[in-house]
A and B are shown apart, each in its own frame.
Chain A
Amino acid sequence: EDQVTQSPEALRLQEGESSSLNCSYTVSGLRGLFWYRQDPGKGPEFLFTLYSAGEEKEKERLKATLTKKESFLHITAPKPEDSATYLCAVQGSNYKLTFGKGTLLTVNP
């Protein structure tokens, strides 16, 4: 059974204070690892797909990396508008997505 564990559950940062979110996973036949951003009361917004270990992708202040066991979402010099819940999901050989519970990020001005 595919599993995804995200840590920490919640993270509070000061504006400009860089940090990383972790997504540990076990999956049968990784087809892709996905990061989403979710604002309160809204649907998840797609951020990145990573397909193989060593791959990295960047978007503004966010950078996602992937190893064989985990993925990191690095947030550089965050702003208050980066506050959201960040979701990680893996797609295995059965093509289904398995989601973690998310990390609630709060960035204080």
Chain B
Amino acid sequence: DGGITQSPKYLFRKEGQNVTLSCEQNLNHDAMYWYRQDPGQGLRLIYYSQIVNDFQKGDIAEGYSVSREKKESFPLTVTSAQKNPTAFYLCASTLAGGSEQFFGPGTRLTVL
């Protein structure tokens, strides 16, 4: 079955730690995205990548980093510089030139 997988489903981080969230897709989509969802707010774009080895900052990139070494994978690192990282993180993908973004199941990150 084609789809987007995210792992882990739940992640706990201590103050000062970097953590990496995984996103993998087997849809042969070209573009991938990371969003953050907080209660009472719309999804906000963190980073996006339209091709391998290239990515751009979204609206709230500070404290996050990404890589795109393979078409199928777009991991997100939440660094210690992100002051309020507790949130629900969503990965999405779409075909090049496509419009509909398809989402993974999400990772809930909690800072202890």
Binding site for B on A (CB under 8 A): 4, 31-32, 34, 36, 41-46, 49, 87, 89, 91, 96-102
Smallest Cβ distance from B110 to chain A, in angstroms?
Answer: 13
In the docked arrangement, what's the CA distance between A91 and B101, Å? 11
> Cβ of B40: which chain A residues have Cβ within 8 Å of it?
101
Whether B43 and A99, one on each chain, are in contact in the complex, defined by CB atoms closer than 8 angstroms, is: yes
- A96 and B45 contacting across the interface, CB-CB below 8 Å: yes
- Total count of chain B residues near the partner, CB < 8 A: 21
A101 touching B41 in the complex, CB below 8 Å, given contacts A42-B106, A43-B90: yes
- Complexed CA–CA distance, A87 and B35 (Å): 14
CB of B99 closer than 8 Å to a CB of A: yes
**A99 to B101 alpha-carbon distance, docked (Å):** 12
The answer to whether A46 and B41 have CB atoms under 8 Å apart is: no
B42: which of A43, A96, A102 is its contact (CB, 8 Å)?
A102
Which residues of chain B from 1 to 43 have any CB-CB distance to chain A below 8 Å in the complex?
4, 6, 40-43
A101 nearest CB across to chain B (Å) = 5
Q: Complex: how many Å from CA A27 to CA B50?
A: 22
Given contacts A87-B42, A98-B42, 5 further A-B contacts (CB under 8 A): A32-B100, A43-B4, A44-B90, A97-B45, A99-B44
The reply to whether A99 and B102 form a contact with Cβ atoms under 8 Å apart is no
Q: Does B85 contact A (CB under 8 A)?
A: no
- In the complex, whether B105 has a CB less than 8 A from a CB of chain A is yes
CB-defined contacts of B41 to chain A, threshold 8 Å: 101
Task: Determine whether the beta carbon of A34 is less than 8 Å from that of B100.
Answer: yes
Is B108 on the interface with A (CB-CB < 8 A)?
yes
Inter-subunit contact B103/A4 (CB<8 Å): no
**Closest CB of chain A to B35's CB: distance in Å?**
8
